[in-house]
């Protein structure tokens, strides 16, 4: 097993919190608790090139680290069996998904801006439409990043494959998502595969990060969680 939470960076710390009756991810209500942004992941030990690491979702890096801790805790001298499945569960959006979506929409807005400046009453402002479009695209690239690896880095389906590759696991890889039942669904799939003899072992990694205000607003609109600016009124979106 392994555990990465804002208040528990390992199994021993998690166990102490459980014994004390304290939630590992925060207070459970009110503003979102502290997250996992301060955890440093050594990407080189997992064979991840720096150029790719910058484009990978933060949750993907944390899941690779959680998998390492789990395998260190579980494996003995003989290591894992030949067929080891990797099942990953993720909920809501990833940081790179938001960044890439904003950059795409921003580029569309930059084109619209150039067209607007080139016609109508804006033609006489003295602003070069092409320069304005180029400047806005440069700002978007600096703020949100721009790399050939962006599309791969934002896909949740790449996370189990990344884990399997990093630890040389020879089994099936699968990413699942079922809202608040994601953890159950991932574990149930692994158990079914073991019972059916489809694999010899299974590594299950499930995680969630509070990537911004969008998910909290969506959940608050349905009355499921507290909004980004609310001090109460429901559970806060936590990380772990």
Query: How many Å apart are CA 235 and CA 30, to the nearest integer?
Result: 7
Q: Which residues of the chain have pLDDT under 50?
A: 27-33
Where are the domains positioned within the chain? 11-94+150-221, 99-144
Indicate the pTM of the whole model: 0.73
**Do 27 and 235 meet the contact criterion of CB atoms below 8 Å apart?**
no
Q: How far is CA 62 from CA 85, 179, 222, in A?
A: 19, 19, 29
Residue 160 is encoded by which pair of tokens? 């189990």
Length of the chain: 240
> What letter does residue 203 receive in the DSSP assignment?
E
Query: How many Å apart are CA 47 and CA 126, to the nearest integer?
Result: 51
Kindly report the backbone phi and psi dihedral angles of residue 186, in degrees, each rounded to the nearest multiple of 5, phi listed first.
-65, -45
Residue 126 is encoded by which pair of tokens? 């003295």
Query: How many Å apart are CA 31 and CA 124, to the nearest integer?
Result: 48
Domain 11-94+150-221 is found in CATH 3.40.50.300: no
* DSSP for 124-182, written as a single string: GG---HHHHHHHHHHHHHHHH---TTHHHHH-TTHHHHHHHHHTT--S-EEEE--GGGH
81-125: pLDDT as tens digits:
779 999 999 876 666 667 777 778 888 988 988 888 888 676 777
Nearest alpha carbon to residue 55 among 15, 95, 88: 95
pLDDT recorded at residue 30: 44
């Amino acid at each position: 097993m392994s555990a990465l939470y804002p208040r528990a960076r390992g199994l021993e710390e998690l166990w102490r919190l459980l014994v004390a009756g304290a939630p590992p991810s925060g207070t459970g209500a009110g503003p979102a608790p502290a997250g996992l942004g301060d955890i440093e992941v050594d990407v080189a030990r997992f064979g991840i090139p720096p150029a790719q690491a910058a484009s990978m979702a933060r949750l993907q890096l944390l899941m690779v680290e959680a998998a390492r801790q789990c395998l260190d805790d579980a494996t003995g001298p003989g290591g894992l069996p030949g067929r080891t499945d990797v099942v990953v569960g993720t909920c809501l959006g990833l940081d790179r998904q938001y960044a890439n979506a904003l950059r795409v929409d921003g580029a569309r807005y930059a084109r619209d801006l150039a067209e607007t400046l080139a016609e109508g009453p804006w033609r006489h402002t003295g602003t070069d439409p092409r320069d304005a479009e180029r400047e806005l695209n440069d700002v978007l690239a600096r703020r949100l990043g721009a790399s050939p690896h962006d599309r791969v880095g934002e896909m949740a389906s790449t996370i189990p494959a990344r884990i399997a590759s990093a630890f040389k696991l020879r089994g099936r890889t699968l990413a699942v998502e079922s809202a608040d039942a994601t953890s159950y669904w991932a574990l149930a799939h692994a158990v079914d595969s073991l019972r059916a003899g489809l694999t010899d072992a299974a590594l299950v990694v499930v995680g969630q990060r509070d990537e911004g205000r969008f998910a909290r607003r969506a959940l608050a609109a349905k009355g499921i969680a507290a909004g980004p600016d609310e001090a109460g009124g429901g559970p806060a979106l936590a990380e772990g």
